A and B are shown apart, each in its own frame.
Chain A
Amino acid sequence: MGAGHAHRLYRHGHSPVHALPPHTKLAAAFAFVLVVVSTPREAAWAFGLYAVLLAVVAHAARIPAGFLLKRLLIEVPFVAFAVLMPFVAGGGRVDVLGLSLSVNGLWGAWNVLAKGTLGVAASVLLAATTELRALLLGLQRLKLPPLLVQIASFMIRYGDVITDEMRRMRIARESRGFEARGVRHWGVLAKSAGALFIRSYERGERVHLAMVSRGYAGSMPVVDEVAASRAQWTYALALPVAALAVCLLGWTL
């Protein structure tokens, strides 16, 4: 069963950022990321300013730095390969602490690391200040194809159900003395995964039956609408607009 009463990414609060309608925050975060990735990598100071902008948002949202940094760790496996780039890339080389590194590679690593971190930080802020349910409403409001919103909504509803089923299968395996110790046991795990897939598939059919029984005819009725005032849009878009100014400076300087 689920742990708390909200998703663990979300941090309950009543800040002005929490209060913004979800679709304005989604649009702002997306625009911010677009601006960040289109900044030239040589303008290192620009990325520093972006970080400051995010810090201001975090402050307004009353998200403590520790919370944000801990969640940034999710990025580590994705940027691991960035660390390799200075060693493997070609071009001119430079000696750092006795190691011969590629200049191009260093810039490449910096580029991935800086942009990746800023993007993840923006997403973490978005997730921390917007409930999952609200995010879905926001996506719906931004006219994402309804089918995609429905799929995301079912993922949220059934994620815990399926995790729970997986846990019960693991307990059942272990209760019968099974322990995954090596490659030889992967077969058993693969079969469990297959069984889980079939169970989920069958559940999907039962859910569909229940939906049809209650009048589902291909589209979900929109029960909750979200709306934003001009002031709220202005407030939310302040972040990407400020970032855009930084970006333009980065290209001209």
Chain B
Amino acid sequence: MTASLEVCGLAFAYPDGHQALFGVDLRIERGERVALLGPNGAGKTTLVLHLNGILTGGAGTVTVAGLPVGRQHMAEIRRRVGIVFQDPDDQLFMPTVREDVAFGPAAAGLRGPELEDRVRTALERVGMADFADRPPHHLSFGQRRRVAVATVLATEPEILVLDEPSSNLDPASRRELADILRSLDVTVLMVTHDLPYALELCPRSVILSEGVIAADGATGDLLSDETLMRAHRLELPFGFDPRSVPTRP
């Protein structure tokens, strides 16, 4: 079976000469939920922007469900890779929630009842169907984050990429989002500094450090490895012991 995402030897330097990635290899199978951990400046954002071809031109390849990321089928790649950006105010740019969720599928050419159906389903999946006609700035931050997820789900992506999904959320919204993510039947790559959240949601984690994948394994194992964690500037919250957390199915 083809992997949802396959990254091979990806290296990239910005035009100013700063090299962010030094040969990243990563394979994510269909239906997996993987956390991408790493200190600030490790190259996480650079890697994410390569997944849908916003950044290109370095060495190496990225393949999404068998389709190589390249200029000739960019539209299809961007439909397959759904990126949820950190600030929902950046992600939600249309005047109403409904139009925003419709933006992706409409850009792909969907119209009429089929489009409405897609929008309704996406909003239902994140529990925001009652807010379709609201302007995004009248929603709470947690609600905006959920709508941001819906805008991407509406394109029926192969892989959902979340940039810091739990940032700025209160504990209840954080848990609600976790419930939603767990209920989705889609491959997830989650970029996060919230290590307990990674442990809760992602059975597998990879550590990106100084532009390479420094570790890849079960989230619980990585977080329990104090030497590894310290080497990559990763720290657990005070009093949090990954070994004492019950594992979820």
Contact = CB atoms under 8 A, between A and B. Distances in A.
Interface of A: 1-2, 5, 132-133, 136, 153-154, 156-158, 160-161, 203, 206-207, 209-217, 220-224
Contacts of B54: 209, 212-213
Contact of A215 (B115, B136, B138, B155): B155
A210 B104 CA distance: 11
A204 to B, nearest CB: 9
Main secondary structure of the interface of B (DSSP, over half): helix
Contact of A214 (B87, B115, B137, B155): B155
A210 B107 contact: no
B186 to A, nearest CB: 16
Contacts, number: 84
Contact of A133 (B81, B96, B102, B107): B96
B1 to A, nearest CB: 26
Interface of B: 49, 52, 54, 75, 78-79, 81, 83, 85, 87, 89-96, 99, 102-104, 106-108, 115, 134-138, 151-152, 155
B102 A212 contact: no
A136 B95 contact: yes
B145 to A, nearest CB: 13
Contacts of B115: 223
B241 to A, nearest CB: 37
B104 A215 contact: yes
A215 B95 contact: no
22 contacts: A1-B138, A2-B135, A2-B137, A132-B95, A133-B96, A153-B95, A157-B93, A160-B137, A161-B137, A203-B90, A206-B87, A210-B90, A211-B103, A212-B54, A212-B78, A213-B78, A214-B155, A215-B107, A215-B155, A217-B107, A220-B103, A221-B103
B50 to A, nearest CB: 12
A5 B151 contact: no
A221 B99 CA distance: 10
